[in-house]
Amino acid sequence: MNLKFLLIAGLSATLHTQTPAWAQVRLPSLPNLPGGVQLPHGDLLRRDESLLTSTSQLLAPADPLRWRERLGDQLLRRFPDQLQRSAAGELVFSGEVLALPSSDAARRRLLEDEGLRLVEASTLEGLDVAWLRLRATSTTTSTTSPAALAALIARLKAQDPEGAYDYHHIYLDAGDVGSGVVGATSATSATSGTAGASAAGARAAAGGSRLGMIDSGVDTAHPALQRSTVTRRGCAGQTRPAAHGTAVASLLVGDSDVGFHGALPRARLFAMDVFCEGSAQPGGGVAAIAEGLAWLARERVGVVNISLVGPPNALLRRVVEAAQAQGLLIVAPVGNDGPAAPPLYPAAWPGVIGVTAVDARRRVLAEAGRGAQVALAAPGADMVAAQAGSRAYAPVRGTSFASPLVAGLLAARLPSPDRAAASSAFNALAREAMDLGAPGRDEVYGMGLVGASLRVSASDLR
C-alpha cells in the first residue's frame, strides 16, 4: 500500500533520535481517518462557457517539465555570486550547509572544522529546534563546486549519522500571475450568487480565525485586503509587496465590494515574507521558511499555507515535523513540474495537505504534479486574484492558488493549533469533496474537489 496514502489517512509514527533538548523534534501523531468515508459523487455544475475568463491557456507554461528550472535559471542570472546548482541540479546558496548536529560534541566538531565557517547559529523559539548555517571555505573562489559541496555534506553525515545535514536549498513559488483586469465587462456569472452566499457565510464564520502564510510580500493596500487584519513579518521589518504573495493572501482572506472574496474573508492573517522582493539578497531559502514556521507557531495559528515547492530538505523536514507536533496543519501545492515529475515538498511530507489545481471545467491542470502526495483538489485556473501595486485583479494559474483555498476552508474548522482537531478538520473537508477522476481516492485529484464555489473569474467582478 502507498506510504503517503497511509499517512494522509492518519498513519501514526515517531521519529526516534538521540539528540539534546535544543535539537529534539518529534513526528506528530494524528488520529485515523474514519473508516468507510464516502465521498459525494455528482455531475459537474453547468456554467455558460461564454462567461468564463479564458486565462487557463494564456498562462499555461509552454514546457511544464521545466517550471522550476526556468525560475531557478532566472535567479541564477540575477544572483550569480550567491547561488549555484547542487550536484542534483537543485538551486542552493553557494557553498552553504545547514546542520542540526546530534550532540554537543558533534556541534563543537563542526565549529572546529577548518573546512567550515559559521555564518549563523539559529534557535527557532517555539519549536525547540536549533541549527547552524555554515559556509565551506575555499582559498581560490567564493563558491564551492557542486561535486565538492556534495562530498562535504556526505562527510558530515558520515561523521554524525544521527544528525541532519543538507544544502541550503531555495524554494520557489508554484503559480503564475498575469496582467491586471480592471473590472467586469460582461454580465455576472451564473454561479456568482452561490459564490456570494458562500463568501457571506465565510465572513460570519471567520470571527476569530487565525491563519498563516509563508510566501512573498503582501500588498495590504489592495482593496481586497483592506477589510482584513494582516500582520506581516520578514525582510528586517521592510515592506516588500509582490505579485505572488498578494494573490495568495487575497485567496485566503480577501473581501471586496466588486465581487471578489477569498476562502475565509476578513480572517486574521499572519504573513511571513521569505523572498523580500527587490532586495540584494536571494530569497526563498530554507532558513527563512523555518523562521516563518517558528513565528507562526508562536502566534498560535491553526493552519499555515506554504505555496512554495522544492526538494526534500532534511532540515526543513525537521522543522515541519516540529510545527506539526505543536498542532499546526500545513497546506502546500503539489507543484507544476508535470505529471511525471518526482514529488515536491513540503506537500509530499507526512501530514502535510498536498493540493492540486483544476480549471473551470474541473480538469486537473496539465502541469500539476501527480502521485500519493495529492490529498485534495481546488480551483487553480480560469480565476483572478488581487494584483499587487494596483486596485486591479489579475488572472492566476497554478497549484499555488489552489492551496490557499483549501487552507482557508480548513482554517474555518481549525482556528488554533490542535493535533486531534487538525485531523478532524481534514476528515470533515474530505467528506465534502466531490469525487473526480477514478472512483475514490486517486493520484490525480486525491480525495476530490473542494472549494468549487470559491473560484472568482473576471466576469464575476462588478
Model confidence pLDDT, tens digit, residues 372-421: 999 999 999 999 999 999 999 999 999 999 999 999 999 999 999 999 99
Least confident of 31-35, 210-214, 261-265, 345-349: 31-35
Phi, psi of 131 (to 5 degrees): -145, 170
Measured between its terminal Cα atoms, the distance across the chain in Å is 49
Distances (CA, A) of 18 to 22, 128, 136, 313, 316: 11, 14, 27, 20, 19
Q: Is the pLDDT of residue 40 over 50?
A: no
Q: Residue 243: which residues within 8 A CB-CB, separation 6 or more? A: 177, 216, 387, 388, 394
Q: What is the DSSP letter of 336?
A: S
pLDDT in tens, 136-148: 987 444 457 999 9
What would the DSSP string read from start to end of 164-225?
A: EEEEEEBPEE--EE---B-S--SPPPTTHHHHHHHHHHHHHHHTT-EEEEEESB--TTSGGG
**Each residue of 77-94: pLDDT tens digit?**
999 999 999 999 999 999
Cell numbers representing residue 278 in the block: 527587490
d(CA 389, CA 341): 34
Cell (9 digits) for 382: 480560469
d(CA 302, CA 296) in angstroms, rounded, equals 9
Residue with cell 473551470: 360
Confidence check: pLDDT of 130 > 60: yes
- pLDDT attached to residue 228: 93
Range with the poorest average pLDDT among 56-70, 127-141, 442-456: 56-70
Distance CA 444, CA 356 (A): 8
Q: Which domains does the chain carry? A: 3-65+173-460 (3.40.50.200), 67-171 (3.30.70)
Q: Is the pLDDT of residue 152 over 70?
A: yes
Give the H/E segment covering residue 148. Answer: helix 146-159
pLDDT reported for residue 178: 86
Indicate the pLDDT class of residue 435, thresholds 50, 70 and 90: very high
pLDDT at 93: 96
Collapsing DSSP to helix, strand or coil, 459 comes out as helix
